[in-house]
Amino acid sequence: AQSVTQPDIHITVSEGASLELRCNYSYGATPYLFWYVQSPGQGLQLLLKYFSGDTLVQGIKGFEAEFKRSQSSFNLRKPSVHWSDAAEYFCAVGARAGGTSYGKLTFGQGTILTVHP
């Protein structure tokens, strides 16, 4: 069964500092990988996705993520954080297999980002 681990429950950074949010997955083959962001009381917004090809993927709001097969990781990065980036971030893995499991996502527990001025 697939699983996702986000080791950091809460991260605090200063505005303008760089950011890296960690995500480790467990899956028997190359997975589909996603990062979502959630503001309080809202739904989830897709930041970026990895399906295949270039292991460094660019997303919205200046975020990027790098897929590292050898480390089973898909860490999210941003060079300079803005106060508006404060939110909860979720990593998710999707199954490539067909059948009824196709399209299902497994989410990590989330990382809450606090940004200090």
Partner 1 sequence: DGGITQSPKYLFRKEGQNVTLSCEQNLNHDAMYWYRQDPGQGLRLIYYSQIVNDFQKGDIAEGYSVSREKKESFPLTVTSAQKNPTAFYLCASSIVERNQPQHFGDGTRLSIL
For residue 86, state whether it binds partner 1 (rule: CB under 8 A).
no
Total interface residues for partner 1 by CB under 8 A: 25
Contact 63, 48 (CB under 8 A): yes
Q: Considering only residues 12, 55, 80, 109, which one is a binding residue for partner 1 as defined by CB under 8 A?
A: 109
CB of 19 to partner 1, least distance (A): 20
Please count the CA atoms within 13 angstroms of the CA of 59 that sit on its side-chain side.
22
Q: Considering only residues 71, 83, 102, 114, which one is a binding residue for partner 1 as defined by CB under 8 A?
A: 102
Give CA–CA dist 19/106, Å, rounded. 24
Give CA–CA dist 93/81, Å, rounded. 25
Q: Which residues bind partner 1 (CB under 8 A)?
A: 9, 32, 34, 36, 41-46, 49, 51, 90, 94-96, 100, 102-105, 107-110
